[in-house]
Every structure is written in structure tokens, then in C-alpha cells.
Structure 1
């Protein structure tokens, strides 16, 4: 299986970005529990206009992240691994299982409680972290595993976006929502009229984001919607879609996601932090990510292949898929993002304990996935030079 240049660029940027995310997360946690703890946490809560710095990052800059996710998804649908039912079926089934089973485990522990709204938290996979861990295994990783995990994570993020739109929207200001939809319709007309200049789409996207922000629907949804009205054409280097996608790779991987990680992991961990881990909410998050993710991904993939809907690539084994499922349990970015939405009215303590649970679960999932794959993947055969004796 050959990888396209676009996919290679995406994989490489996400690989380095994942390692950077790990570094800044550890750094942020250290500073948040240092002598300058109060000033550090207060900085991220500083008001800039109507919102805090953290809010602008979460609702503003993360829209750009979702724009990139939308562009990647569009490319995969038109030209990549999701362009045919045969290729797309396995990661689709895997992603579905990786959302349903973790959410089911969480709800089994939290149904009827004040924290049942957090069912979407263990459904997400962090692309950057998952690929960053996979990259540590070097050239022993088969191409099909890279493609499977990346496609699964992209579909997973799409599922998370749908969950955000449906379940984490409280009150809706319909006038603002209709204006945002109207702008989207106008941009779609420009697309059909073959207007390829990026300028009107980006300006329209900014206005659409503003009205979406004030509609009650989470503003980051704008990023995905905008991605699908930007002209794709033949997907070549001269197309608008390719240009903006190529441009966004590095800013998202090396600036936006690290900034999100720093702002949202400035967690002051007190001496009794472990007491929050025996709550059904935190148990549900950890169990959902560590157990539910690999179980759901493997089980649904197995059912899909058994029913003849999916095909397991020749260089993938079922035990390898378990390792991919473990890496799928690294929730981090999207899980924290959904936590902020799910518990925005439930107090800082619930959010803090949920973040700690996500960090613990992501660490366990990433470590377990790395060592599992290290044991199950074959080491590459080293080519030896022939020595001629004269």
C-alpha cells in the first residue's frame, strides 16, 4: 500500500506534534504545581474582552484545528483511504465500536447521576498523541496500521464533533444560527460557481464563526462546515483545499494544539487529588478509555470482517489491532475539550478530577499500546551487505 505525499506530510507533522504535546503537558503540570502556581493559573483566566484567554483558545483557535480535521476528512473521502467502501469499512467499524463501547461503560456507571452528561468524554481519540506514540516504533509499523489508526482517529473526531453538536448544545439563539447557516449556504453557492479564491471563504468563515458562537451551538463546528465548502477540485497542489490544508499542518501541530494543552492542563493537584478517582465519573472515564476503547475497536472490527463487510489488510493481525485500539484510548485533546462542555455548569472540581482521570487513562493507554505493539510487531529485517572474498 502506497502512502500519498499529503498523508505522509500529515503523519510526520502529527508525529512530531504528538511528542511536543507530551512535553508541554508535563511542563504545564509542573508549573501549575510550582511556587508560581497562583499567577500561572490566573494568567490563563485573564479576561480579553468578554472571554478569558483559555476560552478564546478553546472556542477560537480550536476552530482552526477542526477546519484541518474537516479538510483531512474531505481528502480521505474523495481521494484517500475512505474513498472506497472496501477501504473505509474497517476504520469506520472500528471507530464506531471505539465510541459506542466506552460511552456504554461510562453510562453503566453514571446513568441517572449528575455526571451522566460526560458520556462523550471517553469516546474521543487524540490523533496527535496516538500517532506520536506509534512513530516511536519506527519502521516496524506496517503502512496499513498507520492508515487504519489515522483514519480511525479522523472518523472518531467527526463522531466527537457530531456528539458536541447534538448533546452539548444547551440553549439555541435561532436568529444567529440561521444567519450562520445562511452564510454557509452562500459559501456553498460560491463553491458551485467555481470561485477558487480562498479570501471570500475565509472572510465568510470568520462571520459564520461569530454568529455560531452567539447561537449556542459550539463555535468549533464552524471549522468542519467551512472545510466542506472550500473548493476541493481534483485535490491537486493548486487547489484551494490543498493550499490551506498544507498551510495549516504545522501551525496546528506546533502552535494551536500545544497551546490548548498548556492552557487546559494547568491543573493544581492537591494532596487529596486521589480521592476524586473513586467517583463513578472518573472511573467511567478511565475504564472507558483504557478498556472500552480497545475492546470496542477490536470487537466491531472483528464483527465487520466476520460479516464480510470489512477486509483485514494482509499485513495486519488481530493482535496488532488490539494495540491500535489501546492507542485509541489516548483521549487527551478531544476528551478534555468535551469535559469542558459537559461539566461547564457543574463546578471546577468536577472538571479538574475529570482532567486528571483523562491524563491517567491516556498515559496508561499510550504506554500499554506502545509495549503491546513493540512485542507483537515484527522487527524489520536488516539488509546485510554481501562480502566477496577474492
Structure 2
């Protein structure tokens, strides 16, 4: 089982490595277009409304909303499937292996949120407290891959587990803190469908379409309820049966979704959400506001502080110990890579604010903080590799 999981993770890491670099490419392209002569037309296109009607149900959403509420629900479905797999057979399946990644993830969520809250308490931008709490797994693993083959597998698994727990935290925050008005009729219908899917699971019904079709209806009900529709993806992922003894519909669906989500959906999300027109004046002035400072310090300083400090306290009190292959220096590097927010941070920015300029400033701050975090984390891992190489030569 351990060897099988290791092989699965290696394939996962290789694909995420390429995905992270492709995501970086799409982000750069989007920024170039948004700040070119066709930038205004490009941004206007993202706000065009597309009307769809099916069996009497009409939906009028902009292209940006179709991407953020629709396509990203598929992204969250894969997140739900990955989390369930990790809880059953992965790094989070046992208390001893899960305690440090869980502690690191919790620290990496709490400290950045507190930093942003400290900068923005009592201001209109206080609602952005959750923006710096997320880690982008594709970008983080993609940057880690640039450190070469000297990085132990245990370090890569730790980062993946940390980011997955981060995703759980982000989903909970979205559900509880970024829901304004609730339609209890639609919410009740969505929860009823989710319970029905759990009954299907309990009865060991393995026809995938019997989960997908109700899942689409659950998405629609959540969209109308006021709770963010992407939550439907996570709920559906948890409802689909997972058999630890071999291949199953959960495994097959996750495998089928991985490349489309990684190389189509998330890059489209990047193209839509990083179309950021740079401010005409001084960027320094734009980034000197409380919200921007809260995001930058939250991701670049808060993430590494929480990810490093919480496991450190656990080991010093004898509650846990570092896994083989992980050192305090590598954990420090992981802490900085955890500051690569991107996808989830951008997503939460759209939910936290209604003012377009505040959203743009938030996204620009995320890009800057993520770049600083990526460069620092990569530098630490390269220093570690150089030190290890010198040690081997001297030996």
C-alpha cells in the first residue's frame, strides 16, 4: 500500500510540477494582454453575459461568473476527491503522520489571517482576512520542482498534505464567512440532495451518473441559496464512494479530472482572474494601503511563521517529531512556498469585496507576495542542496 501511494504521489507531483509552470505562463500572458492596447476589450469580454436555459431553468451569468462559479466547482470536486483519498489512505490517514502537516496548515491559516486583520480591523477591507490564508498546491509544487531532484519525497508529500488541509480550511471559510443572504429553501434542497448522495454511498451504488446528475442540481441549488456554489463540488467529492482495496469510481473520476482541471480549468481561471491593469501611478502607493499590506505581509511573513512555529512548538513539547527526510531548514523553505497563494487567494478576493479597484489591488498584492515567497523558498532549498553537496564532498 505504501509503495502504491508513493507511485501515485510521484505521478501527481510530476503533473503538478508542469501545471505550476504552465499556470505561471498563463498568468504572465494575462497580465501582458490586460496592460496592452486590447486590455480594456479583453476585460470587457470577461464581463459579457452568457444566458443558458435547460428544462425551464435559466441562468444569466457573465463569463467570469461561469468560470468562478461553474468551472471552479469542478476544481473543488477534485479537491474533495483528493481530500477524501488523503484521509483514507494518504498522508492524513493516521494521527502520527498527519499531526505535523495539520499543525503547519493550521498555523499557516491562523497567523496570516491575524496579520491581515491587524492591518484592517474596523475598515471596509476587514472582510479580506482570509485572502492570505490559502496555499496554491500547483504553483508551490511547481516551484519546489525547480530545486531539483535533491528534495526528499517526504518534503514534497508534506507540502502537498499541508496545501490540501489548507484547501479544507478555505472551503470552510468560504461557506461560513462569505455567505451574505441565504435562501433556506434552496439551501435545504441542496442539503437534501447531499444526504441522498450519502445514502447512495451507504448502499454502495457505483453508477457515477447517479452522483453527477444530482450533483449538478445541488450546484444549482447552492448557487441560488447564497452559499457559494463551488461548495457543491467538495460535497459531491465526499459523497462519491471510495474503496481502499482497489480502483473505484472515486479514483477513476479523480484520474479523469486531473488533467482537464490542471491544464484547462485552472489556467482559464488564471486568464480570467489575473487580467489586472497595472495602476497608472506609483505601484508603491497602490500597495501601501492596509489591505495590500495585510495580504503581502500575511502571505510572505505570516505563512512561513505559522507553518514553522506550530510544528516547532509541537516537537519541543514532545507531542510530535519531524519525519525522516524533513529538516528544520526544509520546513522553513516549505513555509515560504506556502506563501504562494494564487488560485484560492484570488478566488477569495472575488468573494470578499465588491469594489473592482479593491479586488485588483488584492490580486496584485497576491501576485507580488507569491513571487517573493516563491523566490525565497526556492533560494532556501537551493542553499540546502548546496550545503548537502559540500557535506558529501567533504565526507
Q: TM-score, normalising length from structure 2?
A: 0.93
What residue is the counterpart of 2:375 in the other structure? Answer: 367
What residue is the counterpart of 1:356 in the other structure? Answer: 364
Pick aligned residue for 1:266 from 263, 271, 275: 275
Asked if structure 2 preserves the Cα contact closer than 8 Å seen for 1:139 and 1:380, the reply is no
Q: What secondary structure does 2:103 align onto? A: helix
Q: What secondary structure does 2:11 align onto? A: helix
Q: What secondary structure does 2:130 align onto? A: helix
Asked if structure 2 preserves the Cα contact closer than 8 Å seen for 1:66 and 1:223, the reply is yes
What residue is the counterpart of 2:237 in the other structure? Answer: 227
Relative distance call for 1:32 and 1:53 in structure 2 (3 A) is: same
For structure 2, list consecutive stretches of 5 or more residues without a partner in the other structure: 52-59, 391-395
Pick aligned residue for 1:255 from 257, 264, 275: 264
Q: Distance in 1 between matches of 2:282 and 2:47?
A: 22
What residue is the counterpart of 1:38 in the other structure? Answer: 40
For structure 1, list consecutive stretches of 5 or more residues without a partner in the other structure: 383-390
Asked if structure 1 preserves the Cα contact closer than 8 Å seen for 2:279 and 2:286, the reply is no
Deviation, structure 1 residue 268 = 1.2
What residue is the counterpart of 2:54 in the other structure? Answer: none
Deviation, structure 1 residue 137 = 1.3
Asked if structure 1 preserves the Cα contact closer than 8 Å seen for 2:159 and 2:334, the reply is yes
What residue is the counterpart of 2:17 in the other structure? Answer: 15
Q: Distance in 1 between matches of 2:358 and 2:330?
A: 35
Please tell me whether residue 121 in structure 1 is matched to residue 131 in structure 2. Answer: yes
Q: Deviations over 1:290-314 (max 9, x none)?
A: 0000011000010122223322012
Q: Distance in 2 between matches of 1:9 and 1:182?
A: 37
Relative distance call for 1:379 and 1:9 in structure 2 (3 A) is: farther
Relative distance call for 1:350 and 1:173 in structure 2 (3 A) is: same
Deviation, structure 1 residue 124 = 0.4
Q: TM-score, normalising length from structure 1?
A: 0.95
Would you say how many aligned residue pairs link Structure 1 and Structure 2?
379
More off after superposition, 3-12 vs 262-271: 3-12
Q: Distance in 1 between matches of 2:238 and 2:121?
A: 36
What residue is the counterpart of 2:393 in the other structure? Answer: none
Q: Distance in 1 between matches of 2:34 and 2:336?
A: 29
What residue is the counterpart of 2:100 in the other structure? Answer: 90
Q: Distance in 1 between matches of 2:266 and 2:325?
A: 32
Relative distance call for 1:256 and 1:235 in structure 2 (3 A) is: farther
Q: Distance in 2 between matches of 1:273 and 1:187?
A: 53
Matches within 5 A, 1:120-269: 120-234=130-244, 236-237=246-247, 239-269=248-278
What residue is the counterpart of 1:281 in the other structure? Answer: 291
